[in-house]
Amino acid sequence: MKKWINYLPTLFVIAIVLSLFFYSSQGSTRTMNYTQFEDLADEVSFGDSQVTISSSIIRVEGTYKAKEGSTGYSVILPYSESNMEWLNETLTEDGGQITIQDPNQSSIWITLLGNLLPLLIIGVFFYFMFARMGGGSSNKAFEFAKSRARVETNIKTRFKDVAGCEEEKEEVKEIIDYLKSPKKFTDMGAHIPKGILMVGPPGTGKTLLAKAVAGEANVPFFSISGSDFVEMFVGTGASRVRDMFKNAQKSAPCIIFIDEIDAVGRQRGAGMGGGNDEREQTLNQLLVEMDGMTDNLGIVVIAATNRPDVLDPALLRSGRFDRRVTVNLPDVKGRKEILEVHARNKKLASDVSLESLAKRTPGFSGADLANVLNEGAILAVRNKEKQVSMQDLDEAIDRVMMGPAKKSKKYTEKDKMLVSYHEAGHAVVGLKLEDADMVQKVTIIPRGEAGGYNLMTPREEKYFHRKSEFIARITGLLGGRTAEEIVFGEVSAGAVNDIEQLTKIAKNMVRVYGMSSLGPIQYADPQGNVFLGRDYTQGSSYSDGVADEIDKEVRAIVDECHKNCRKILMENRNLLDLIAQNLFENETLTNEEINNLMNYGTIEGPEAEKKEEVQEETSKQEEVPPVPKPAIDQKDIDDALNELTKKKD
């Protein structure tokens, strides 16, 4: 049927062309009355003709020859004997043949079909076009109330495919045991949680973990996005919720996964926050359906969101979503495990160290790490390599963080030197400040909107940060701008991103973390993004006087960090000049090269020189044979003893 639908527009065009051809052929036939036919008969000679005789008329069709050529004609005459004789003489005068046709020979059904066929083709065409437009993903007209949840069975995803979240796996293992053998839970009088809410940043593997639960339990997996419920017609979303739970009951035991549930589960009555009757009705129906699920029915609802702060409290209460699983960004161990999972089908070179990659990618999600390996493989193919090298993965990290290198963008000598000192300033502060992040790589090659960048990673990953660490981070961010002040006596606009980050950190220290003289009082809600209709209607939580004090505290923190940064750079001016000069010449410096510059004053360091000296000595020893040392005889020993005896005497 689908193939015929695809060919339908072509058939429609062919029918139109045939109809036009039919009418055009009719248009070339001259239709005349009796008088015109009598006048024409005296001037032309007739060819073959077809005569249809009925009780009252005679219908004549045929051709005649004139000066312009052969032309078709059609005429109707009154039936009479004289007209029949005259027609017989006139039409056969020049050798034309007359064919008598039976007026009842053509069927009325054939005539009707010929007249109705174009209309039928047009009607079928528009029917199928409306059918394809009306049903959305189901390709059926007007099935708005049907659930759009996609059902997957025989899922191949397992827990071994999900890395970096061991604690989260432990939280959902009871769901797998329940779906496999619910009787041991009912015998104990326990009931499994009806709903599990997975919370975490984007790309941390919430959807993958939910699919792995269905794969381990070997049950159907109903997946739908929160935005799939809401339509322009009021009541559609609620109907889809009912239909989804109805289908799930038929397939129980099963898992219903609602991705981005905040699209439909936002707080009700939020005014300009986007809430409307349709969304609220959909949420109400979802709450009712989850309440209507009897204990141990065999249906588990798993939802995912990265904005739990905007969800309606009724959705989060016990009895609906009983358990909350937080899927955080992976630590260094988790990142290594994730890299091992995604490296299974990659051809990695022997120099690739996944542990080193994990240490260099703090803050990366599972999706980011998968993208790094994929970008590295693409670069290897582009460079016509047989394996993915560490250099390819190093470039892939830079591409994921900052974008591709803009090698065609050329600096002037002055701009290149300014960028070199800017990045060198960040590097020197990172090297000399105890709580600052470690410098892994410095480059002045433009990427994205940045003229260069410093890859700095924490010395160790922590869950909680001290005030001194925030101060050190602000000082490090000021390193580039302060270096410009010291060397060039002016500043550029290149530090705009640094200023944005340090301002945010300083404000959070004062308003959120209570790390100022204002004391342990929180003057801002640390919930993240603003929720329209709730946050804009609450007003400020502090007075104008307190706002002035906050501004002073933020300025004091930044000024103190700037003063300390300037002191560090002035005390290490030689190192600043050395790193900037090498950056200007080489454009990129690694962690090892920067440490060599700090400790030995050269990029290579003494180890390379020692290796060269050892190689030279080894080669000389191989070329010149060793001279044998002469043996010491007994006479020499006796003479030495006699000399010592004389001196004593």
**Cβ of 352: how many Cβ atoms within 10 Å?**
21
Give the C-alpha separation, 648 to 116, whole Å.
Answer: 145
| Cα 96 to Cα 39, 64, 68, 567, distances in angstroms | 18, 10, 19, 119
Lowest-confidence pick of 134-138, 169-173, 393-397:
134-138
* pLDDT at 483 (0 to 100): 92
Contact 457, 362 (CB under 8 A): yes
Going by pLDDT thresholds of 50, 70 and 90, the confidence category of residue 563 is: very high
Give the C-alpha separation, 622 to 616, whole Å.
Answer: 10
* pLDDT at 571 (0 to 100): 92
Encoded tokens for 190: 């326990």
* pLDDT at 603 (0 to 100): 80
Mean pLDDT of 274-286: 73
Contact 503, 460 (CB under 8 A): no
Contact 61, 50 (CB under 8 A): yes
Exposed/middle/buried for 307, CB within 10 Å: 0-12, 13-18, 19+?
middle
Contact 299, 293 (CB under 8 A): yes
Going by pLDDT thresholds of 50, 70 and 90, the confidence category of residue 648 is: very low
Lowest-confidence pick of 30-44, 106-120, 174-188, 251-265:
106-120
Give the C-alpha separation, 91 to 98, whole Å.
Answer: 7
Q: 99-108 pLDDT, tens per residue? A: 777 665 555 5
Alpha helices in 162-235 (DSSP H): 166-180, 183-188, 206-217
Nearest to 163 by CA among 332, 331, 334, 328: 334
Query: Is it true that the peptide bond before 253 is cis, omega within 30 degrees of 0?
Result: yes
Lowest-confidence pick of 368-377, 463-472, 473-482, 640-649:
640-649
* pLDDT at 10 (0 to 100): 65
Containing H/E element for 247?
A: helix 236-250
Q: Reply yes or no on whether the pLDDT at 616 is more than 60.
A: no
Give the C-alpha separation, 445 to 453, whole Å.
Answer: 8
Give the C-alpha separation, 592 to 588, whole Å.
Answer: 12
Q: What is the share, in percent, of the chain residues with pLDDT greater than 90?
A: 11
* pLDDT at 118 (0 to 100): 72
Contact 380, 396 (CB under 8 A): no
Whether residue 423 lies in the annotated active site:
yes
Give the C-alpha separation, 535 to 307, whole Å.
Answer: 14
Q: Reply yes or no on whether the pLDDT at 61 is more than 90.
A: no
* pLDDT at 570 (0 to 100): 93
Q: 254-268 pLDDT, tens per residue? A: 888 988 888 888 887
Q: Helix count (H) and strand count (E) of the chain?
A: 23, 14
Mean pLDDT of 518-535: 64
Contact 518, 526 (CB under 8 A): no
R_g over Cα of the chain: 44
* pLDDT at 274 (0 to 100): 47
Mean pLDDT of 214-236: 79
Sign of the C-alpha dihedral, residues 339, 345, 350, 351? Answer: negative
Encoded tokens for 170: 């432990």
* pLDDT at 103 (0 to 100): 63
Mean pLDDT of 305-320: 85
* pLDDT at 407 (0 to 100): 66
| Residue with the larger pLDDT of the pair 70 and 586 | 586
Catalytic residue, chosen from 423, 484, 553, 587, is 423
Q: Can you list the pairs that 83-90 forms with residues at least 24 positions away whose Cβ atoms lie under 8 Å?
A: 83/58, 84/53, 84/58, 87/51, 87/58, 87/60, 90/41, 90/46
| Residue with the larger pLDDT of the pair 408 and 153 | 153
Q: What is the DSSP string of 574-623?
A: HHHHHHHHHHHHHSEEEHHHHHHHHHHSSSS-HHHHHHHHHHHHHHHHHH
205 Ramachandran zone, left/alpha/beta (phi>0; psi -120 to 50) = left
Q: 390-416 pLDDT, tens per residue? A: 888 888 888 888 777 776 666 788 888
Q: 349-360 pLDDT, tens per residue? A: 888 888 888 888
Q: Reply yes or no on whether the pLDDT at 535 is more than 60.
A: no
Contact 69, 56 (CB under 8 A): no
Q: 464-505 pLDDT, tens per residue? A: 788 888 999 999 999 999 999 999 888 888 888 889 999 999
Give the C-alpha separation, 584 to 572, whole Å.
Answer: 18
Contact 147, 247 (CB under 8 A): yes
Give the C-alpha separation, 619 to 615, whole Å.
Answer: 6
Q: Reply yes or no on whether the pLDDT at 123 is more than 80.
A: no
Encoded tokens for 528: 């993240």
Q: Reply yes or no on whether the pLDDT at 164 is more than 50.
A: yes
Q: Reply yes or no on whether the pLDDT at 526 is more than 70.
A: no
Q: Return phi, psi of residue 434, to 5°.
A: -65, -45
Going by pLDDT thresholds of 50, 70 and 90, the confidence category of residue 144 is: low
Q: What is the share, in percent, of the chain residues with pLDDT greater than 70?
A: 76
Q: Reply yes or no on whether the pLDDT at 527 is more than 90.
A: no
Q: Say which amino acid occupies 48.
A: D
Give the C-alpha separation, 350 to 347, whole Å.
Answer: 10
* pLDDT at 30 (0 to 100): 75
CA angle 454, 335, 383 (to 5 degrees): 65
| Residue with the larger pLDDT of the pair 396 and 73 | 396
| Residue with the larger pLDDT of the pair 138 and 20 | 20
Contact 221, 152 (CB under 8 A): yes
Q: Reply yes or no on whether the pLDDT at 534 is more than 70.
A: no
